[in-house]
Structure 1
């Protein structure tokens, strides 16, 4: 039986906490779905125009002038139905956020890494039951027991990397690179638990999967993403450290003051270096309905083997880079001191919402998520 863990204390966690898989440590700081029950959708069909107005009012409730802010979008059947942004992208330049402003998409990018793994499995370049050691060299002996599938579903037992990055002295001003993170992982001598026995969401799993993608494909992760994921669906997500243009500065609150934060910006895995907009995210979500990337087999693989994330049978689970709620919707969130992100696909796969903020201190994550889902899905 797979149990649910979070962090070194191995405590059972809530669904809300598990939306923060991309966070520095798995915590309940960024809530997601506060409940696993669903409510009936309102009778009748809400006009898109009405939903647009309600969404604009919703966004205004969570942003303040002259502060970092948020950008959000919704799409129906792949067509963007609403997009808006409020707040500042850069405090020093007083540059406003726009719907074209790109953000480091952080934790919601795990789905891209997972999709890459599933594509490579379909190509015959790897198998989900391959040991990690078959693709990433010079790891401790535990890599023989950890499989690609364990990493994919956060059941590997590999300890959280973010606390080790912080303990090693890496700061926002001097962020860890992918190579730095791998040195720290190679210094891990023991797993938190036997692989396959617990669910423990943490960033180490997908950082290691990024290494697997590069090893199995022979390409850098940015190149693989561009060629196999983004180009086929005409997305302009930039996966390089040289991303330029209208990019939001992330801000963390330090001793009561907002300071620029780029603590995760040099890692090449899902939680880092994926620059895009909420509009990109909701357009990508059309793939969960159409299978444009990977076809029906990939769509089936996303939920195949999903593991429970809580103690109750029949509750929410974690598939390939994304949570599967009991109402059938898909979602993922991410949190860092300087960023909050969230992405969700409706149970019928026709409607998608996404939001990214360049400051995690709004403190109203649960209300933000529930508001968007209520407006566009008719469910909390």
Structure 2
């Protein structure tokens, strides 16, 4: 099934590439970024230049200047080689998206929560084999047999917290903070039946609380101190944040879809695709992300394995996608860990999948077919 889906995706990308071959590059608000990573040889420079041109054309073909759109970035060996954005950040004001526009990257946030837990384990302050009840009180009996490891790898099988919030009549646009969400998780007396992988946002809300109780810092402060600050990344953990430079989130019918839930750990990091693409180099040559992100990775229902907040795919790549209200996001790291792509969109109808698949096929293909000797 997976192979069939991938063949279909590759076919779609091929068709897009053929269509783009006859397009002229549009006058875009942003453009290609050529850095020292691309300047090793004249051939590589030409290849990056060509890929940047085709990336601009792909973005233009898939988005509109009058609708919510997408921002995307690609980094190679830790240096930005292309970034662009197209569409509207706010329909009412007509404010366009730029590469500086920020988005909630939704579930891609999970890898940062997992990184925080692993940092504390390296500090000797906790172990993934510890039960969650050691760090959070007031939970049902399942907390005594639920380990931090099972939360991180989605095998704890706790129901997603939104189910309990829905029972209480708390909708997506009603306020629900971290404490409210934790209380909802604590009211669930049982885990989902069965064994193995079961993706649930509740797992990462609990991990966020563990980080706070062990470190004595809020998770936003911990990440700023230990991750965002040291790497000089334009990132902040602030769910439901509204600001002029944050894209408005839209439903398919273009109604505003801004959630009021402000729980975190599973979502809530506000950033740009550029910052996210630069972060991804940690998986190649990082001091903060170590090899322990893959330790204990568990197979999901489609054959990939779930590590520390990220999927380890059977083709050797790393990836995670996200959706939160009208925010859509995609993050991928190549097999050799040299290429990182990040996409963020602000509308449920935005072409996240087509854009991500097209860019990925373009930036991970060899240089030689593009620029022959």
* Offset of residue 263 of structure 1: 2.0
Q: Work out whether residues 250 and 262 of structure 1, in 8 Å CA contact, stay in contact via their aligned partners in 2.
A: yes
Q: Structure 1, residues 267-319: CA drift from partner, whole Å, max 9, x if none? A: 222312x11000010110111111221xxxx52111111111137xxx42111
Matches of 1:37 and 1:347, distance apart in 2: 21
Structure 2 partner of 1:277: 272
Unaligned runs of 5+ in 1: 1-13, 17-32
Find out whether 1:318 has 2:310 as its counterpart.
no
Matches of 1:265 and 1:53, distance apart in 2: 39
SS in 1 for 2:185: helix
Bigger Rg over Cα = 2
Q: Work out whether residues 161 and 185 of structure 1, in 8 Å CA contact, stay in contact via their aligned partners in 2.
A: yes
Find out whether 1:180 has 2:149 as its counterpart.
no
Structure 1 partner of 2:21: none
Matches of 1:36 and 1:152, distance apart in 2: 31
Structure 2 partner of 1:344: 332
Which segment drifts farther, 324-333 or 233-242? Answer: 233-242
Q: 1:91 to 1:204 in 2, by over 3 A?
A: same
Structure 2 partner of 1:108: 108
Q: Work out whether residues 261 and 338 of structure 1, in 8 Å CA contact, stay in contact via their aligned partners in 2.
A: yes
Which structure is higher in RCO with an 8 Å CA cutoff and minimum separation 6? 1
Structure 1 segments of 4 or more deviating over 6 A?
Answer: 36-39
Find out whether 1:375 has 2:362 as its counterpart.
yes
SS in 2 for 1:352: strand
Matches of 2:266 and 2:65, distance apart in 1: 31
Structure 2 partner of 1:138: 138
Q: Work out whether residues 155 and 198 of structure 1, in 8 Å CA contact, stay in contact via their aligned partners in 2.
A: yes
Q: Structure 1, residues 102-148: CA drift from partner, whole Å, max 9, x if none? A: 11111111110010010010011110011011111101111111100
* Offset of residue 162 of structure 1: 2.3
Matches of 2:245 and 2:209, distance apart in 1: 29
Unaligned runs of 5+ in 2: 15-42, 367-373
Structure 1 partner of 2:238: 240
Matches of 2:62 and 2:7, distance apart in 1: 24
Q: 1:245 to 1:182 in 2, by over 3 A?
A: same
Q: Work out whether residues 109 and 271 of structure 1, in 8 Å CA contact, stay in contact via their aligned partners in 2.
A: yes
Matches of 1:170 and 1:112, distance apart in 2: 27
Find out whether 1:160 has 2:164 as its counterpart.
no
TM-score, normalised relative to structure 2? 0.83
Structure 2 partner of 1:21: none
Q: Work out whether residues 334 and 364 of structure 2, in 8 Å CA contact, stay in contact via their aligned partners in 1.
A: yes
Find out whether 1:35 has 2:6 as its counterpart.
yes
Structure 1 partner of 2:292: 301
Q: Structure 1, residues 165-211: CA drift from partner, whole Å, max 9, x if none? A: 334322343232111111111110110036xx310112111111111
Matches of 1:168 and 1:84, distance apart in 2: 42
Matches within 5 A, 1:44-123: 47-123=47-123
Q: Work out whether residues 36 and 325 of structure 1, in 8 Å CA contact, stay in contact via their aligned partners in 2.
A: no
Matches of 1:264 and 1:283, distance apart in 2: 29
Matched pairs, number: 333
Structure 2 partner of 1:262: 258
SS in 1 for 2:6: coil
